[in-house]
Chains A and B, each alone.
Chain A
Amino acid sequence: MPHVVCEPCIKCKYTQCVAVCPVESFREDEEMVVIDPEVCIDCGACVPECPVQAIYPAEEVPEKWKSFIQLNADKAPNLPPINEHKTPLAEQ
């Protein structure tokens, strides 16, 4: 099971997570990042990097954010990769 980026990332997009991913599984749109479940190796290295606790293993996603499992899977194939930290939306 891959990891999943959930609701707290929206309009924050801190992106520390993307810099530690060993397989470059993160993708970005204008307001958040998502994880490509086909690429994620489930290492969990990104989890402690997120300052807003937006990333969970798929099996531990809180009930209220379950829809983000599908949202990550749907969005990722159509978005560009992001591998380097950027100025967060929350700080712009």
Chain B
Amino acid sequence: MKVAIFNPSFGENFVRVARWAAKSRGRVQRHPEYLLIAAQVLIDAGHDVQFVEAAARNFTPEESYDILRQFKPDLLVLHATTPSIYNDIEQARAVKEQTSCRVAFVGQHVTAEPDNTFELSGNAIDYILKGEYDETLRDLAAGINPAAITGLSYQQAGRIVHNPGRPPMDVDTLPFPAWHLIKPEWYPDAGKKFPFLTLISGRGCNNACTFCRDPQLMYGYRLRMRSPEKVVDEMEHDLSVHPEIREIMFETDTFAASREHVEGVCREIIRRKLNKKICWSCNMRINTPLDILPLMKSAGCRMLMVGFEFGYDEAFRAVRKGGVSVSMARQFAQRAHELGFIIHGCFMIGAPGETRASAQETIDMAKSLPLDTVQITGIATYPGTTMYQWAKENGYLIARDWREWLTAEKEQRTLLSYPQLSNKEIDAFIDKGLKQFYLRPAQIWRMLVSIRSAGDLWRKVYGLGAFLNYFFGKIRSRPPRSPKASSPSNPPIFI
């Protein structure tokens, strides 16, 4: 079967496969590693697979259609997102009309809202693959009767059929991503050594954060880490496919959730002397045991992307992020800094109960830690999460249409508005936090003296450009589209 995996464009630099789909404030792009793992599953099953990366490459819809018309797929697979769902349906419909292919949608949004997606699509979508989709897609491409494929929803004779869910798969059976279908330079990121690739070392998360979609919708609460040998095999494979890469980013949300996994991967990297060939970075939790940090450093870990999240303990409880505290965050940052890691701190504004004073506490926290870079975001609220349900039930969700998830410039838009802190105030605190963090003379000096190579200089210039582009874009920004949707006389589309 000919299968096209399609990442459609949605405005300029829309980051489709990020945790929070939007044009990123850092103007980065994200590698489609999950889609390319599924692509390799199909290739291994003997199918002819084409990957059309229109989002990262900023193709116009017509450019995408031209490529897909030439390929003439039997099946089109599209990872849809909440803010782009109308656009995704329209582009899928156009491809279907031009090639007569069947259309399958995957991803968090359609897993949470399959009925609504089918209803919006009319007959444009044939299948929705809910949750972890690798094996569901394999079965679908194999021509198995849809009624017998777990994890699949489909339209039949004008009605929607939902098959039972598919149990979590054995992640050690997954192939490596089909990286030969992309070029690493399509995915810029000022924080990484460029070019780079990403790596998923496990699925599932043993944390209960109310805003996070992946454990709630896609991969479950059970940690399923791949064996260290497989993980390091993949690093070597990445270098063989794209020898030009200078870094590997462990994008696993939960890389550090298992001490055994971290130690195993690090020891295997050292045993194969891979730490002499390439550096790597990873996402980290602040409750990671501090005594494994030196081993990570020895294994070539360069940068830690750390979920500090908040500057006060009550917020962790408000989003059910268990087992962490501000004091842990301070100890973690200090120890990681002493060991020479580059630290990228991730912070959020807008936890339930957030006030002006507590939002400022989080900003002050970010400024008080020895961090190299930060990202500050409003807590995103997506369908299918506990946070979304809570916000809807309590009247804190201001959006009434999927199109309102982003600004007209496709930037992330805060959708929670509390009596004590409005969405506009949350957005203002985000911008204030970014300015207060980066525009300190000490921070500017710190970033200047960290430039050791042409690559460092390129990253700093790119980051500065992104910072200026974001804030100048703000100045030019207009209200979000579909203003009529918020009018009482115009009924909500999805609620």
A20 engages B206 (CB within 8 Å): no
Task: Indicate if the CB atoms of A41 and B323 lie closer than 8 Å.
Answer: no
**How far does the alpha carbon of A42 sit from the alpha carbon of B206 in the complex, in Å?**
6
Per the 8 Å Cβ criterion, residues 312-332 of B in contact with A are: 316-317, 320-324
Nearest residue, chain A, Cβ from B204: A41
A42, closest chain B residue (CB): B206
Interface string of A15-26 (1 = CB under 8 A from B): 000001111000
CA distance A23 to B317 in the complex (A): 17
Which B residues form the contact surface with A (CB < 8 A)?
Answer: 206-208, 215-216, 221-223, 316-317, 320-324, 386
Query: In the bound complex, do residue A41 and residue B206 qualify as a contact, i.e. CB atoms below 8 Å apart?
Result: yes
| Inter-chain contact B323/A23, CB cutoff 8 Å | no
Q: Beyond the given A22-B208, A41-B223, A45-B208, could you list 4 further A-B residue pairs with CB under 8 A, ordered by the A residue number?
A: A41-B206, A41-B221, A43-B323, A49-B317
**A44–B323 CB distance below 8 A:** yes
Rounded to whole Å, the gap between the CB of B317 and the closest CB of chain A is 5
B316 to chain A, nearest CB (A): 8
Task: Name the residue of chain A whose CB is nearest to the CB of B206.
Answer: A41
Q: A20-B208, A22-B208 are in contact. Are A44 and B221 (CB under 8 A)?
A: no
The 6 closest A-B pairs by CB, nearest first: A44-B322, A44-B323, A45-B322, A22-B208, A41-B206, A45-B320
* Cross-chain contact B206 with A48 (CB below 8 angstroms): no
Q: How far is the CA of A44 from the CA of B322 in the complex (A)?
A: 4
Among B216, B221, B317, B386, point to the contact of A43 (Cβ < 8 A). Answer: B221
Contacts of A48 in B (CB 8 A): 316-317, 322
B222 contacts which chain A residues (CB < 8 A)?
Answer: 41
The answer to the question of A4 belonging to the interface, with a C-beta cut-off of 8 Å to chain B, is: no
Docked CA distance A21–B323 (Å): 13
A35 to chain B, nearest CB (A): 13
- Most chain B CB inside 10 Å of its own CB: which residue of A45, A46, A48: A45
* Any B CB within 8 A of the CB of A81: no
| Pair A47/B221 contact, Cβ less than 8 Å | no
On chain B, the residues within 8 Å of A49 by CB distance are 317
CB distance from A26 to the nearest CB of B (A): 13
Which residues of A from 21 to 72 have beta carbons under 8 Å from B?
Answer: 21-23, 41-49, 57
- In chain B, what residue has the closest Cβ to A47? B322
Instruction: Report Cα–Cα, A58/B207, bound state, in Å.
Output: 16
Give the chain A neighbours of B221 by CB distance below 8 A. 22-23, 41, 43
**A21, A44, A46, A57, most chain B CB atoms within 10 A:** A44
Give min CB distance, A59 to chain B, whole Å: 11
Q: Which of B206, B221, B322 has the most CB of A within 10 A?
A: B322
Interface centre among A21, A43, A46, A49 (most CB of B within 10 A): A43
Task: Give Cα distance in the complex from A21 to B222, angstroms.
Answer: 14
Chain A nearest Cβ from B254, distance in angstroms:
11
A-B contacts, 9 of them at CB < 8 A, read A22-B208, A22-B221, A23-B221, A41-B221, A43-B323, A44-B322, A44-B323, A47-B323, A48-B322
How far, in whole Å, are A45 and B221 apart by their CA atoms in the complex? 13
Q: Which residues of B contact A23 (CB under 8 A)?
A: 221
- Complexed CA–CA distance, A21 and B208 (Å): 8
Count chain B CB atoms within 10 A of each CB in A23, A49, A57 and give the residue with the most: A23
Contact B320–A57 (Cβ < 8 Å): no
User: Which residues of chain B are near A41, meaning CB under 8 Å?
Assistant: 206, 208, 221-223
